[in-house]
Amino acid sequence: GAGVSQSPSNKVTEKGKDVELRCDPISGHTALYWYRQSLGQGLEFLIYFQGNSAPDKSGLPSDRFSAERTGGSVSTLTIQRTQQEDSAVYLCASSPQRFYEQYFGPGTRLTVT
């Protein structure tokens, strides 16, 4: 079946611009996670959605970052006023429920110039 998809695959933006990254989880998966991987680092948790529950935003690095999940399916991660340190690969993962294995999308490589 279809896996997790993300778009765009690559995004180059100028410092100060806003960007939107999209994630389409596996159909039926209620848990959705965003992570980012900076160069040479492991994956860093950003935010978690589970059904209609309030999201866990504890990993968002600043108030320039926000995310939403509409209709319990597609999610959008928005970064406002991008900075060079925001350059990373942003990965989305979904899971049938929390505490199950997470299935990752291919990621969006964001470069802020």
Partner 1 sequence: DQQVKQNSPSLSVQEGRISILNCDYTNSMFDYFLWYKKYPAEGPTFLISISSIKDKNEDGRFTVFLNKSAKHLSLHIVPSQPGDSAVYFCAASARGSGNTGKLIFGQGTTLQVKP
CA dihedral of residues 55, 58, 64, 65 (deg, nearest 10): -50
Contact between 102 and partner 1 per CB under 8 A: yes
Q: Which of 60, 79, 91, 110 binds partner 1 (CB under 8 A)?
A: 91
Q: Give the nearer residue to partner 1 in terms of CB position, either 93 or 112.
A: 93
**Side-by-side strand order, sheet with 65-69:** 5-7, 19-24, 75-79, 65-69
- Residue 59 as a binder of partner 1 (CB under 8 A): the answer is yes
| Local structure of residue 56 (DSSP, 8 states) | B
Binding site for partner 1 (CB under 8 A): 4, 31, 33, 35, 40-45, 48, 50, 56, 59, 91, 93, 95, 97-107
